[in-house]
Amino acid sequence: MPTVAPLDLEGHCIATIFLGGVPHFALADGVVHRLDHGHKWTELHDGLLSTAYDAARSRLVTGGEDGKVRAIGANDSVETLAEAGRKWITSVASGPQGAIAFATGKTATVRFADGKTRDFTHPRSVEGLAFAPKGMRFGVARYNGATLHFPATEGKPVDLEWAGAHTGITFSPDGNFLVTSMQENALHGWKLADGKHMRMTGYPLKVKSMSWSAKGKWLASSGAPAAIVWPFTGKDGPMGKAPLELGTRGNAAVTCVACHPSEDIVAIGYNDGMIIAARFADAKEVLLRRPGKGAITAMAWDNDEKRIAFGSEAGDCGVIDITG
Partner 1 sequence: MSEAQTQIPVTVLTGYLGSGKTTLLNRILSENHGKRYAVIVNEFGEIGIDNDLIVESDEEIYEMNNGCVCCTVRGDLIRVVEGLMRRPGRFDAIVVETTGLADPVPVAQTFFMDDDVRSKTKLDAVVALVDAKHLPLRLKDSREAEDQIAFADVIVLNKTDLVTPEELRDVEATIRAINPAAAIHRTTRAGVPLDTVLDRGAFDLKRALENDPHFLEAHDHDHDHECGPDCDHDHHHHDHHHHHHGEASSIHDVTVQSVSLRGGEMDQKKFFPWIEKITQMEGPNILRLKGIIAIKDDPDRYVIQGVHMIVEGDHQRAWKDDEKHESRLVFIGRELDAERLKRSFDACQAA
Q: Which residues bind partner 1 (CB under 8 A)?
A: 11-12, 14, 28-29, 47, 49, 65, 86-88, 90, 105-106, 124-125, 127, 143, 163-165, 182-184, 205-206, 313
**Which is closer to partner 1, CB of 12 or CB of 289?**
12
**Which is closer to partner 1, CB of 14 or CB of 319?**
14
Could you tell me the smallest distance in angstroms from the CB atom of residue 311 to partner 1?
12
Could you tell me the smallest distance in angstroms from the CB atom of residue 15 to partner 1?
12
Q: Are 112 and 100 in contact (CB under 8 A)?
A: no
**Which is closer to partner 1, CB of 163 or CB of 287?**
163
Q: Are 63 and 108 in contact (CB under 8 A)?
A: no
Q: Any residues with CB less than 8 A from the CB of 242 and at least 6 apart, and which?
A: none
**Which is closer to partner 1, CB of 11 or CB of 189?**
11
Could you tell me the smallest distance in angstroms from the CB atom of residue 28 to partner 1?
4
Could you tell me the smallest distance in angstroms from the CB atom of residue 178 to partner 1?
18
Q: Say whether 76 sits in a helix, a strand or coil.
A: helix
**Which is closer to partner 1, CB of 54 or CB of 127?**
127
What is the C-alpha separation between 243 and 231, in angstroms, rounded?
6
**Which is closer to partner 1, CB of 206 or CB of 249?**
206
Could you tell me the smallest distance in angstroms from the CB atom of residue 125 to partner 1?
5
Could you tell me the smallest distance in angstroms from the CB atom of residue 206 to partner 1?
7
Could you tell me the smallest distance in angstroms from the CB atom of residue 89 to partner 1?
10
**Which is closer to partner 1, CB of 106 or CB of 241?**
106
Count of beta carbons in the 10 Å neighbourhood of residue 239:
16
For residue 131, the number of C-alpha atoms closer than 13 Å in the C-beta half-sphere is 25
Closest alpha carbon to 263 in 226, 236, 301, 320: 301
What is the C-alpha separation between 50 and 126, in angstroms, rounded?
13
Q: Which residues pair with 41 in a beta bridge?
A: 33
- Kindly list the distances between the CA atom of residue 182 and the CA atoms of 1, 17, 40, 69, 188, in Å, as whole numbers in the listed order: 38, 25, 37, 25, 7
Closest alpha carbon to 161 in 182, 122, 202, 190: 190
User: What strands, in cross-sheet order, belong to the sheet with 265-270?
Assistant: 254-259, 265-270, 275-279, 285-289
